[in-house]
Amino acid sequence: MRPDAGGARKPRVQHVLTVQQVRRLSPHLVRVVLGGEGFAALEFKDATDQYIKMLFADPALGLDRPYDFDALRERLPMEQMPVTRTYTVRHIDHDAGQLWVDMVTHGEEGLAGGWAQQVRPGELISFFGPGGAYAPREEADWHLLAGDESALPAIAAAVEALEADARGVVVLEVPSVEDQVSLAAPDGVEVRWLHRGGEFTPESTRLVEAVASLEIPAGDVQVFVHGEREQMKRMRRLLVEERGLPRRGMSLSAYWAFGRVEDQFQAEKRTPVGQIDPA
């Protein structure tokens, strides 16, 4: 939410769409295609990292969408209130009136992951958004796009938006070779896949080391790097302090934090541990 000119916060609008298709893309990635009458009310950004904040509640509560938060606060304890989980919009099909949302899953773990594993066409989902800010600049000399599987949908969307003569490198870390997906990269953009051999741990990740090994040319370098919070802190030190790239205009932030659910992760953004840049 952004304050308006008078300082008041613009109320968030809860959108509701229908699940139209569900497709397993890889062992840890499920594509959920959303559409329906609510699509016409969405206001999109000129960005390739557009995201929505999907709303989830314990299915056992039997809550109807859209959620009436005022009414729910009167009868539910805080721990049973719907929660948000943030996901990138992988693709927008304006002609078909559809959003594609590629969701990383880890079995039945979590409200969102469990939902993505079991959801079927015809079910409803509600969300806030979309938001977003980054898009590849045509005038950039070179592009660096890097992240773990949480950033894969946004990076895939960005790669598709690159100009045919774009130059750069994409570095993507995923659990295994089976988690790779096809990317339509221009000839001048190299795609490098890293395989951790399992779930993320601070010891198994190889992303920062892989970016550190790159030769980044001089000139106008546009950066899009996202992933786990502590790795993004290391990445900022590497790219800004060691390589001397300008922090201004760089899209570098955390999508998640190891050992934290999203509610904790979002709350910690307002504390020193949640800051990517030093105070």
In tens, the pLDDT along 1-14 reads 233 334 455 678 99
Question: Whole-model pTM?
Answer: 0.92
Mean pLDDT, range 217-227, rounded to an integer:
97
Q: How far apart are CA 159 and CA 134, in angstroms?
A: 12
Contacts of 12 (CB under 8 A, 6+ apart): 1, 128
pLDDT at 220: 97
The H or E element spanning position 88 is: strand 83-93
Q: How far apart are CA 230 and CA 276, in angstroms?
A: 8
> pLDDT digits over 39-95, tens only?
999 999 999 999 999 999 998 999 999 999 999 999 999 999 999 999 999 999 999
Angle, alpha carbons 154-24-176 (nearest 5°) = 70
pLDDT at 2: 32
pLDDT at 194: 98
**How many other CB atoms are there within 10 angstroms of residue 163's CB atom?**
15
Mean pLDDT, range 248-277, rounded to an integer:
92
pLDDT at 198: 93
Sheet of 189-195: strand order equals: 189-195, 168-174, 142-147, 221-228, 251-256
> pLDDT digits over 140-151, tens only?
999 999 999 999
Contact 189, 183 (CB under 8 A): no
